[in-house]
Amino acid sequence: MVFEEKTINSEYVFKGKLIKVKRDIVTTVNGESVRELVEHRDGAVIMALKPDGKLIMERQFRKPVETVVFEAPAGKIDEGETPEEAALRELKEETGYTAGAIRLLTSMWPSVGFLDEKLYIYLCTNLEAGETELDENEAIDIEEHHVDDLFDMVLSGKITDAKTQIGILMVKALIDKGELAEYLQGI
């Protein structure tokens, strides 16, 4: 039987620019327990697919893991912005591309044990190249890789970013099911 926890008390123990941390006291099946929770603005992830079967990917240094991460373009959803609007904005800012078509693939919670952030993964097609509009402190390398190669990189463990893994697997599944055949040039 699933037991739904009820919050008895909640207090913020940290409020930063990017995250808030709160400590909740909740009822459990065996009494009470403490939950430490992180609040983070939701985000949009972009799987930008070209007609040749290549996805636009990024490499950037990620401080929490102290390494350069190979990932799909993504970013926070701004106040008053829809997830779709954020996806289109982030695509333009980080890669320079604009999309003529956008489709929600899925939404996901990347770490439900302590984080409330929800990610919306979009497929963007009918891409048009342009100039990036990176934030002042962003340094991102843009690369293009074929979906089949990216799929192999997911299976071999070379792509370690969860949102990117899910996006690649979803795009690959759509291609294999023939749902993107009209858009793709004979791949």
- Within this chain, do residues 95 and 34 fall inside the same structural domain, yes or no? no
Whether 51 contacts 183, CB under 8 Å: yes
| pLDDT on residue 186 | 61
66, 79, 131, 136: which one is catalytic? 136
90 lies in some domain = yes
- Within this chain, do residues 77 and 100 fall inside the same structural domain, yes or no? yes
| pLDDT on residue 187 | 57
- Within this chain, do residues 77 and 12 fall inside the same structural domain, yes or no? no
pTM: 0.94
1 lies in some domain = no
Q: How far is CA 7 from CA 11, 19, 24, 39, 92, in A?
A: 11, 20, 6, 16, 41
The CATH number of whichever domain residue 88 belongs to comes to 3.90.79.10
The per-residue pLDDT for range 37-65, each reduced to its tens digit, is 999 999 999 999 999 999 999 999 999 99
- The range of the structural domain enclosing residue 136 comes to 43-185
- Within this chain, do residues 99 and 28 fall inside the same structural domain, yes or no? no
Where does residue 17 rank: exposed (0-12), middle (13-18), buried (19+ CB within 10 A)?
exposed
Antiparallel, parallel or unpaired: β 67-71 and 54-62: antiparallel
- Whether 81 is a known active-site residue: answer no
Whether residue 176 has pLDDT greater than 70: yes
Quote the number of domains for the chain: 2
